[in-house]
Amino acid sequence: MRIIDSHTEGEPTRVVIEGGPDLGRGSMAERRERFVREFDQVRSFIVNEPRGHDAIVGALLCEPVNPECAAGVIFFNNVGVIGMCGHGTMGLAVTLMHLGRIGPGQHRLETPVGEVSFELRDANEVDIQNIPSYRFRSNMSIDVAGLGQVTGDIAWGGNWFFLCQDSPCPLNLKHLSQLTASAQAIADALWAQGIRGEDGGRIDHIEFFGEALSKDAHSRNFVLCPGGAYDRSPCGTGTSAKQACLAADGKLAPDQWWVQESVIGSRFEAQYRWADPQLAAGQMIPRVIPRIRGRAYVVADSRLISVPADPFANGIRALDP
């Protein structure tokens, strides 16, 4: 299986370009379901140890249904599939350029949750226009073991997020263990208390915020992804969810650039426009169309090998006994 590895602001993406499973010719959502149902061992083979690690996001390159799209893609991680991935879209963009399949300019990508537009500005800088994002619930308080009452917003940016108002500790690499444990406790509490996204989906991304260390950034964040790994980038779907919350609170105007810094100091620049300006002033939940800018770099072009006698041929699976 041929893969190309990249990182987007520190967060790894592994794109499968040859040797992936045949998922048929259905929609990306239908192909994702077949991938889950019939090829979960392949997912584990690609991203889990000993070939990968918990932070890698996989991207299975597919033929798009819409021929006007540059590609179709199914994103996944160490424990399952994910709907959309902002940093992964940037990584896929520079990978497609590395392969000579696209050049600088505007392109479209099919994902299981809808089409995403991106602009390849040069060999490494990418703007993505994400799917409509919105805040579903604001100022929700839940009781969390070891943390007490935690308050935050539930928002959609391509995945479901709980955006906490306060962080349990400083947002730096010295506190990764505490940040990870706290975020996991919040995710577990949300699930145990039956708190879900609007579509009934699991709220599987937890986001803490604090003051940025860089003078020209507006916020610093820590994002825990499903599977227990933290996002090294500022998280594209998480930045989209944050934009939706800022817009709903009237704290950020449309087309105003806003800089989100990650826990490792990398950054995304972001702005938004209203999906429907009339709804933004009405009673319905307003949606925003986020635009996220970041940098991605190809770091490896290689092949994954499976040997039948290998006891870990399909990876070390987190959900196995």
- Please list the active-site residues: 85, 235
Backbone phi, then psi, for 252, in 5-degree steps? -145, 130
- CA dist 253 and 169 (Å) reads 30
Cβ atoms within 10 Å, residue 310: 10
Nearest CA-CA partner of 272 in 259, 257, 284? 257
Q: Residues with Cβ < 8 Å from 214, sequence gap 6 or more?
A: 259, 261, 265, 267
Element spanning 92, H or E: helix 86-98
Does 50 sit behind a cis peptide bond, omega within 30 degrees of 0 on the bond before it?
yes
Element spanning 192, H or E: helix 176-192
Between β-strands 148-156 and 160-164, what pairing exists: parallel, antiparallel or unpaired? Answer: antiparallel
Q: Under a CB-based contact definition with an 8 Å cutoff, are residues 292 and 127 in contact?
A: yes
Residue linked to tokens 């993505």: 128
Classify each residue of 157-194 as buried b or exposed e, where b means 16 or more C-beta atoms within 10 Å of its C-beta.
bbbbbbbbeebbeebeeebeeebbebbebbbebbeeee
Residue linked to tokens 């579903």: 136
Structure tokens at 197: 């996204």
